[in-house]
Structure formats: C-alpha cells, structure tokens
Structure 1
Amino acid sequence: MPDSRIKNEEQYRALLEIGYSKEKSARIANTPDAGVKGGHAKPYNEWTKAELYQQARRVGIPGRSYMSKKNLIHSLRNN
C-alpha cells in the first residue's frame, strides 16, 4: 500500500532499489518537481543564500538556519 506522505511513490521506490536510505528517498521524492528533467535551474553557487535556505527547507535538511552559503550548497548536493 502506498505511503500517503510520499508525493512521488514511483521515484521513492526506484531510489530505494538503487540503495538510498528510506529517509533520503522520501526527501528526494517529496521535493517539488523532483522527477522533472529539464536542466533549467542555475547552479547552486549562483543562488542567493536565501534561495539555498528555502531549497534546504523544502528537502528537509536539518540545521539549515545555522549554515553558511557554502555549507548549504554542500548539504544540498550531498543529501
């Protein structure tokens, strides 16, 4: 039975199959437009700290309010 808290169940299952943890899979699958391809976003180093903070908030990165811009970029790329 699908989990109602997961927005993109298909992507969530695919991430689990390739070895991602349940937490990381859920975080990615619940990101708005997570499965949409297109490459229209600018690189993180061109984002403002406020934009990075909002993205970290969307994906559920803990401790984001204490992070520098550099740490936010690192966390978004590696979580």
Structure 2
Amino acid sequence: MPDARIKNEKQYQALLEIGYSKEKAARIANTPDSGEKGGRAKPYDEWTKAELYEQAKKVGIAGRSYMSKKNLIHSLQNN
C-alpha cells in the first residue's frame, strides 16, 4: 500500500530497490519536482553555490557546508 507521506511513490520504490535507506529515499522522493523531466531546470553549473547547497540539503548530502561549488555539483550528480 502506498504511503500518503511520499510524494513520488515510484521514485521512492526505485531508490529502495537500488539500496537507499527508507529515510534517504523518502527525502529524495519528497523534494519538489522529484522525478520530473522536461528540461525545466537549468544545468547545475548555472546554479549559484547557495542554490546548490540548498539542493544538497534537501537530498541529505553530508559535508555539504565544506564543499566548493564544483564538489556540490559532483555530489548532486552522483548521489
């Protein structure tokens, strides 16, 4: 039965299948525009460091406050 607290159930289940914890999968699946495609978001290299930091915070990337813009981009792309 789907959990009403999860905004993107399909993405949540996919993340669990590849080994993400329930907590991390829920954080990612509940981010605004999670799993949406269509090219509405600009590429990460066009984001400000503050925007990258906030996105890293939403998806739960550890150590984000010590990262450079380049490291934040790398972490977001490979998370």
Q: TM-score range by the shorter chain?
A: 0.7 to 0.9
User: What's the TM-score, normalizing by structure 1?
Assistant: 0.77
Which 5+ residue runs of structure 2 have no aligned equivalent?
A: none
* Residue equivalent to 2:36: 36
User: What's the TM-score, normalizing by structure 2?
Assistant: 0.77
* Residue equivalent to 2:25: 25
- What do residues 17-38 of structure 1 show as CA deviations (whole Å, max 9, x unaligned)? 3x24236533431221102221
The Cα shift of 1:7 comes to 3.1
Percentage of matched positions with identical amino acids: 78
Matched, 1:9 2:13: no
Q: How many residues align?
A: 78
